[in-house]
């Protein structure tokens, strides 16, 4: 570095340039090693999960703790409502007609609408489908309207 007032010499300019390049180069391995912190493989449960045979689902509302959903059966029609509060992800539980969240007091109506508390959105309905072996499959990564119903007539 040259002092203020004196013109930079060729040597000082080269020294600053080389030093800057070396410092920039040092960022390379730092970035490369840090990249390891972003996982490439995720050992997480799948979003499409088997629920079981339609005949095993009881009439009315059933909470499936393993899936984090409420199954709603009305005779031959099936629907699945997420039990994960849209506020901060706690599991809601059924209370009277609707659902309440234990963490911050959100409340939802029977159709999933958020009616009280800090929850910003209704509880999402999850699409149900039938696997080749006749079992119900819920897709926890997708969302459908409350009117979307899976009707199963055989083996229910």
Partner 1 sequence: MSDVPSPRRAPRVLRDWLPGTPREAADAVVGNLLLHALPAHATKAALSYRASGWLGTACAVLFGITGVTGTILLVLYVPSVERAYASVKDLETVVPFGSWLRGTHRAAAHLMVVAVVLHLVRVFLTGAYKREGPPGAARPLNWLVGLALLLLTLGLSFTGYLLPWDQLAYWAVQVGTRIAASVPLVGDATREALLGGSVIGQPTLARFYALHCFILPSLTMGLIFWHLWRIRKDGGLAVSDRVAADAVARARAQPPPAGRTYAILGATKGGTVASVAPSALLAPESVASVPNAPRRAAAVALVCLALTCVFGLAAAAPLEQAADPSRTPNPAKAPWYFLWLQELVSDLTFKVGGFVVDGTLLGGIVVPGLLVGLLAAWPWLDRSPREAAGVWFHPARKVQNRVFLAGLLVIALLTVVGTFCRGPYWGFVWPWDPVPTTPTRL
Task: Identify which range of 23-31, 49-57, 71-79, 93-101 contacts partner 1 by CB under 8 A.
Answer: 93-101
100 binds partner 1 (CB under 8 A): yes
Query: Least distance in Å: CB of 25 to partner 1?
Result: 25
- Other beta carbons within 10 angstroms of residue 28's beta carbon come to 9
The H or E element containing residue 52 is: strand 48-52
Sort residue 74 into left (φ over 0), alpha (ψ -120 to 50) or beta.
beta
CB 153 within 8 A of CB 118: no
130: which residues sit within 8 A by CB, 6+ positions away?
A: 54, 136, 137, 150, 152
Cβ 117 to partner 1 shortest distance, Å? 6
> Based on CB atoms, which residue is closest to partner 1, 103 or 156?
103
Q: How many residues bind partner 1 (CB under 8 A)?
A: 32
Question: Judged by CB under 8 A, does residue 37 bind partner 1?
Answer: yes
Q: Which helix (H) or strand (E) holds 72?
A: strand 69-74
Segment contacting partner 1 (CB under 8 A): 8-16, 51-59, 70-78, 110-118?
A: 110-118
Which of residues 71 and 152 has its CB atom nearest to partner 1 in the complex? 71
User: CA end-to-end span of the chain, whole Å?
Assistant: 83
Binding site for partner 1 (CB under 8 A): 37-39, 42-45, 65-66, 68, 83, 87-91, 93, 95-96, 98, 100-105, 107, 115-118, 120
């Amino acid at each position: 570095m040259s002092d203020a007032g004196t013109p930079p010499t060729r040597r000082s300019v080269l020294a600053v340039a080389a030093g800057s390049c070396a410092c920039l180069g040092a960022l390379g391995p730092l970035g490369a090693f840090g990249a390891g912190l972003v996982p490439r493989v995720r050992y997480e449960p799948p979003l499409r999960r088997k629920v079981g045979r339609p005949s095993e689902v009881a009439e009315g509302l059933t909470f499936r703790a393993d899936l984090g959903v409420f199954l709603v059966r009305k005779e031959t029609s099936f629907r699945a409502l997420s039990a994960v509060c849209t506020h901060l992800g706690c599991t809601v539980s059924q209370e009277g007609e609707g659902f309440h969240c234990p963490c911050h007091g959100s409340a939802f109506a029977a159709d999933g609408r958020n009616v009280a508390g800090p929850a910003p959105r209704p509880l999402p309905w999850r699409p149900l489908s039938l696997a080749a072996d006749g079992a119900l499959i819920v897709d926890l990564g997708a969302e459908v309207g409350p009117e979307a119903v899976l009707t199963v007539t055989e083996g229910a």
